[in-house]
Amino acid sequence: MKNPSAQKLINKIEVDLFKNGFDADKLIADLKKLREYSMEEGNPVLTKALRLTYEHLEEYGLFLIPIPDDEPIEEEGEETEEVKENNIPTENNMESLEYLISLFIDLDNRNNMLDLREYNKALQDF
């Protein structure tokens, strides 16, 4: 994000996660504020990612989405789908959450935007 206030807020979120640990309510409030900056900048991919992230946190109280794979693995058969459905994570995925937040800083990076799209898809599919 280009807005200096948004950059400060992203840094604050990262520091809060590192120093104070995960606090869903505080993070949700910060993501909602960050979404306002995103709407001002007119970036629909980021705006959607922020909304889907705080809605996910509101619903589950945890961040359960894994980091997107660099190269998607083609899976065969219905068995893998059944295994996926039964293996719903129950632990906070802090590494993935921290990575997602780090993507917000440099939206000019093509790979960051691709990963944001992957997160959007994963959040919607969850």
The residue-averaged pLDDT of 70-97 equals 61
Residue 15 lies in a domain: yes
Domain that holds residue 40: 4-69+81-106
Nearest to 17 by CA among 64, 67, 63: 63
- Predicted confidence band of residue 124 (pLDDT cuts 50, 70, 90): very high
Structure tokens, 21: 């640990």
Residue 111 lies in a domain: no
pLDDT (0 to 100) of residue 90: 75
Structure tokens, 50: 């922020």
pLDDT (0 to 100) of residue 96: 96
Residue 119 lies in a domain: no
Residue 120 has pLDDT above 80, yes or no: yes
Backbone angles phi and psi of 3, in degrees to 5: -65, 125
Residue 32 lies in a domain: yes
Give the span between the Cα atoms of 93 and 115, in whole angstroms. Answer: 16
Q: Which amino acid is at 34?
A: L
* Mean pLDDT of the chain, nearest integer: 88
pLDDT (0 to 100) of residue 91: 86
The residue-averaged pLDDT of 1-18 equals 95
Residue 6 has pLDDT above 60, yes or no: yes
Residue 117 lies in a domain: no
Residue 19 lies in a domain: yes
Q: pTM higher than 0.75 for the full model?
A: yes
Give 48-96 as a DSSP string. HHHHHHHHHHHHHSS--PPPPPSSPPP--SHHHHHHHHH----S--HHH
Q: How many domains does the chain have?
A: 1
- Predicted confidence band of residue 69 (pLDDT cuts 50, 70, 90): confident
Residue 125 lies in a domain: no
Whole-angstrom CA distances from 50 to 2, 82, 83, 85 are 16, 29, 29, 25
pLDDT (0 to 100) of residue 122: 96
